[in-house]
Amino acid sequence: MSDMVVVRKEGLYCVPGDFHIDPWRPVDRAVITHAHADHARTGHGHYLATADGAGILRARLGEIRLDALRYGESITHNGVALSLHPAGHVLGSAQLRMEHRGEVWVASGDYKLERDGTCAPFESVRCDTFITESTFGMPIYRWQPQAEIFDDINAWWRRNAAEGRTSVLFCYAFGKAQRILHGLDPTIGSIVCHGAVAPLNRLYRQEGVALPETQTVNQGSPGSKSDGGKRSPSSAYAGSLVIAPPSAAGSPWMRRFGDYSDAFASGWMRLRGTRRRRGVDRGFVLSDHADWPALQQAIAATQAERIIVTHGQVATMVRWLRQNGLDAGAFATEYGDEAIEEMPAATAEPAPHA
């Protein structure tokens, strides 16, 4: 079996196709699986991505030379047939299928299997070699159904609203915030979004994703729906739910919310110590990545003989794959830096003190 994809200092490189996949240094031609900052960077000469994700990619990277493909649409470049298939991670996320001389490789980017209503659901793609993430590739990581998590978030918000308190939920601005908004019960109260989140909401809505009505802090004090928005200025946000990126925690921007309860939504909340280090009242275990069983399911569905792990719990996943009779190895990459996604999106509208 030949090495269609190798690692170079710039990133993953398709040898016969002469292009890179989610490169971390500037290259001439880059195929981008999705617009998270560790996979989509500035400085490339030409970009190829999904039509669903084109708006997000341009908003985050600015003026770029971008060609967009519909899911499943195929083009041939230097003898390599390329197509992009849903990864179920965030809006526009894709797996890249590459076929050359009868051999098929798939680079998954980041993915999850649970449908969430905010992006095209994951599609299994048969291949000879599968390049997979392993962000949560340990047996401890097993997610509850998202409906149960949304019920918990709504109950927490409802209880805070009944007690005249603001609910502040920290989550990544792109993907996680919109997934949470899609699962909220908007009858509980007003929903306020940080300036890093609001522009991305608009892009999701433009792609037909149903999100509830939201406001920003610059639009005034929404108050609680239960009192018709007539609360005094000191409790103007009481009863509201505020969606903000983790970078807002502890900042002066938070002072406007007075008495509030805060929470963090992330797969990392599965670890007891993470919530303690975050210093939040609640932790909701909600991830846009596949958990341990889903990783196994996705890998098996490809029927690939060879698996290459790029980031996350690499050693654990490679060892498990080899124990189960698969030809498994790893690529050293610069993906998976969650800290990058804690920063406001490039499209963020200026928010006071944020």
pLDDT at 144 over 50: yes
Under DSSP, is residue 347 helix (H, G, I), strand (E, B) or coil?
coil
Q: Please give the pLDDT value at position 233.
A: 41
Q: b vs e for 49-65, b when ≥16 Cβ sit within 10 Å of the residue's Cβ?
A: bbebbbbbbbbbbeebe
Under DSSP, is residue 12 helix (H, G, I), strand (E, B) or coil?
strand
Higher pLDDT, 16 or 343: 16
Residues 232-236, mean pLDDT to the nearest whole number? 56
Q: 143 with 291: CB under 8 angstroms?
A: yes
Residues 23-39, mean pLDDT to the nearest whole number? 97
Under DSSP, is residue 47 helix (H, G, I), strand (E, B) or coil?
strand
pLDDT digits (tens, 9 = 90+) for 258-267: 999 999 999 9
Residues 33-57, mean pLDDT to the nearest whole number? 97
| C-alpha distance from residue 263 to each of 153, 164, 235, 280, 331 (Å) | 9, 17, 19, 5, 35
Residue 101 CB contacts under 8 Å (≥ 6 apart), including other chains = 79
Q: Please give the pLDDT value at position 6.
A: 98
Q: Please give the pLDDT value at position 354.
A: 26
Q: Please give the pLDDT value at position 349.
A: 31
Q: What is the pTM of this model?
A: 0.90
pLDDT digits (tens, 9 = 90+) for 192-221: 999 999 999 999 999 999 999 999 986 555
How many whole angstroms separate alpha carbon 259 and alpha carbon 344? Answer: 24
pLDDT digits (tens, 9 = 90+) for 88-97: 999 999 999 9
What interhelical angle do 314-323 and 292-302 show, nearest 10?
50
Report which secondary-structure segment, H or E, holds 329: strand 327-330
Q: Please give the pLDDT value at position 351.
A: 28
DSSP letters of 72-127?
T-EEEETTEEEEEEE-SSSTT-EEEEEEETTEEEEE--S---S--SSSPPP-----
* Domain range summary for the chain, segments of one domain joined by +: 5-140+288-342, 146-284
Higher pLDDT, 340 or 303: 303
How many whole angstroms separate alpha carbon 328 and alpha carbon 196? Answer: 39
Does the structural domain 5-140+288-342 have CATH classification 3.60.15.10? yes
Q: Please give the pLDDT value at position 272.
A: 72
* Cα 335 off chain centre by: 13
Does the structural domain 146-284 have CATH classification 1.20.120? no
